[in-house]
Structure 1
Amino acid sequence: MTPENSSTVVRRKFLFGRPIAYILLTIGALIMIIPFIWMISTSLKSQQQLFSWPPNWIPNPFMWSNYSEVFSKINFSLYGLNTLKITAAVTIGRLILCSIITIIPNFIIMRYLGLVNTHFGVILPQLADGFGIFLMRQFFLTFPYELEDAAKMDGCNPFMFYMRILIPNSKPILATLAVMTFQGVWNDFLWPLVMLTSPEKRTLAVGLSYLVGQYTTRWDLQMAGSVLTVLPILILFFLLQKYFVQSIKMTGLKG
């Protein structure tokens, strides 16, 4: 087979495979986004519309009052500030510290230190995570050794090389680690539930559970609160998505 024929076959396979890939990606995207659309739809329904059959995707009328009612049913603003404080501290900490810790030893240590039912007791054990080591290592392996040698020849010591070369060129991986950590801590339910016994100190994930009744649940308010809780994560991801995608390409994590 001549090179021209070989390139033609490859081109045909590429042109045939691209539509299939787009179709599969579209199906996958729909599978992921449909629950989110349903959550938004449910958050704008009345209680009568929640269990109507067949289900309606478009509420009629739109119950915007569900969102304001969430703030009256639970202390949403306070829980939001508590969640933001804990999430920001843990996100910054995981960009610096790395180790693997489990819940039970954490709780025993926090109880011994008298930090149970404090925000600092929730933050401290989560400052370190082994996943950050792996992610940063994979990224730093992409830097050529010749770059460090050239920096040494220019009189750059290891600390200067780290601060002036590695860190400025590590924005993609730092942004990725920040997004993943922020999402994980922001949505964390178990650890704040275990540590924080005072209602005024709890986070949004725990606060939303108060909307679940023993016999009945206001799913319209539950979904409205969930939409408000998800918004900060979506905003952060859209702001940093360029770095997020770039880091996946550079570290070879895309499969």
Structure 2
Amino acid sequence: MTTAIDRRAAERARRFRRRGSSDFSKPTLPGMILRYALLLAVFALVIGPFVWQLSTSFKGPGEDLYAFPPNLVPQDPTFANYSTVADVVPVYRYAWHSLLVALGSVVTNVALAVFGGYALACMQFRGKLIALGILLSTMLLPAEVTVTSNLLTINALGLGNTLWGVFLPGAIAAMNVLLIATACRMIPKDVLDAAIVDGATTWQRIRHLIWPNVRGMASVVAIFTFIGAWDDYLWPLMVLTEPGNYTLTVGMAYLNSNFSPDPRLIAAGTMVALVPIIIVFSIMQRYFFKGVQEGAIKG
């Protein structure tokens, strides 16, 4: 009797799963139209400004930039806008400065966040809760509150008007430490205890146990750190005083002030600023999405 009831219940569950999966994988025609309409709307809102800016950067001086509907295919495409930007403003030198700051920030944030996250999540020491509270409290204050004290510190260290002065305050962020600490907490304590019993040093535990399990989250930290350092404007503007030391964002503001009547040149400079971000995200996107959902133990 019980076996027959179980079989009927299992058969109803299978029919329900088939019906649910069929409804999901094969939506009705109105549902399909609605999905694609929403997808096109999101695509237009997110990608539309980028496509328009890219098209503008290749348009010649005789083309109407504000025609409606907009003409996204240049009638007379030219690279003259890019060469003009490079001749008047050292945009590629500014891009190199931004790249140095961004890469340095990525290296230090990933390394220090792994060490700090491991300490907060896997080690027991006096004052641990106080350290965690200090990290959380720093996230409550906007960056503009501490910018004056940071500027005074950088000038006192003799790093004013240098790329080191731009890089140093962003060498580590509290949010990144907490993200890595969260990933470290997903590692079972028994695994770490077994490594200690086997005689593994702290460095060996970080290298062979912690890093294989947090490198997905570390890629998330790396991507957001790179984008944040590359796009930062206020801090480099305050630290750097000589045009030869500008980063790309500050140099682009100079470009905007000098070529405001010609949006083609501004669009060309904007494209130069976007290319590294697109390349970095294209290379690391699989690690990024893997890091968001990663939780399995490896190594």
Q: What TM-score bracket applies, with the shorter chain setting the length?
A: 0.7 to 0.9
Aligned 8 A contact 2:106 2:225 in 1: yes
Per the normalisation by structure 2, the TM-score is: 0.76
Q: How many residues align?
A: 251
- Per-residue deviation at 1:120? 1.0
**Superposition pairs for residues 99-138 of structure 1, below 5 Å?**
100=138, 102-138=146-182
Alignment partner of 1:29 out of 43, 47, 50: 43
Alignment partner of 1:7 out of 17, 30, 41: 17
Alignment partner of 1:78 out of 93, 102, 110: 93
**Superposition pairs for residues 39-78 of structure 1, below 5 Å?**
39-54=53-68, 55-78=70-93
How far apart, in 2, do the equivalents of 1:111 and 1:211 lie?
Answer: 27
Q: Give the letter for the 2:103 counterpart.
A: A
Aligned 8 A contact 1:66 1:220 in 2: yes
Aligned 8 A contact 1:142 1:250 in 2: no
Aligned 8 A contact 1:148 1:161 in 2: yes
Aligned residue for 1:237? 281
How far apart, in 2, do the equivalents of 1:163 and 1:52 lie?
Answer: 56
How far apart, in 2, do the equivalents of 1:157 and 1:211 lie?
Answer: 53
Distance 1:206 1:62, change over 3 A: same
Q: Give the letter for the 1:68 counterpart.
A: S
**Superposition pairs for residues 195-210 of structure 1, below 5 Å?**
195-210=239-254
Alignment partner of 2:110 out of 87, 95, 104: 95
Tell me, yes or no, if structure 1 residue 145 matches structure 2 residue 203: no
Distance 1:197 1:168, change over 3 A: same
Could you tell me which runs of 5 or more consecutive residues in structure 1 were left unpaired when the two chains were aligned.
none
How far apart, in 2, do the equivalents of 1:218 and 1:85 lie?
Answer: 30
Percent identity over the alignment? 28
How far apart, in 2, do the equivalents of 1:121 and 1:215 lie?
Answer: 29
Per the normalisation by structure 1, the TM-score is: 0.88
- Per-residue deviation at 1:232? 1.0
How far apart, in 1, do the equivalents of 2:285 and 2:259 lie?
Answer: 42
Aligned 8 A contact 1:208 1:225 in 2: yes
Aligned 8 A contact 2:260 2:266 in 1: no
SS at match of 1:155: coil
SS at match of 1:95: helix
Aligned 8 A contact 2:248 2:273 in 1: yes
Of stretches 48-57 and 67-76 in structure 1, the one that deviates more from structure 2 is 48-57
Cα RMSD for the two superposed structures = 2.4
Aligned 8 A contact 1:44 1:220 in 2: yes
Distance 1:242 1:119, change over 3 A: same
Aligned 8 A contact 1:50 1:220 in 2: no
Aligned 8 A contact 1:211 1:217 in 2: no
Q: Give the letter for the 1:113 counterpart.
A: L
How far apart, in 2, do the equivalents of 1:204 and 1:88 lie?
Answer: 14
Aligned residue for 1:167? 211
Aligned 8 A contact 1:183 1:233 in 2: yes
How far apart, in 2, do the equivalents of 1:194 and 1:217 lie?
Answer: 26
CA deviations over 1:68-100 (Å, ceiling 9, x no partner): 111001011221221111111122121234664
Aligned 8 A contact 2:231 2:249 in 1: yes
Aligned 8 A contact 1:42 1:50 in 2: no
How far apart, in 1, do the equivalents of 2:75 and 2:206 lie?
Answer: 58
How far apart, in 1, do the equivalents of 2:35 and 2:189 lie?
Answer: 37
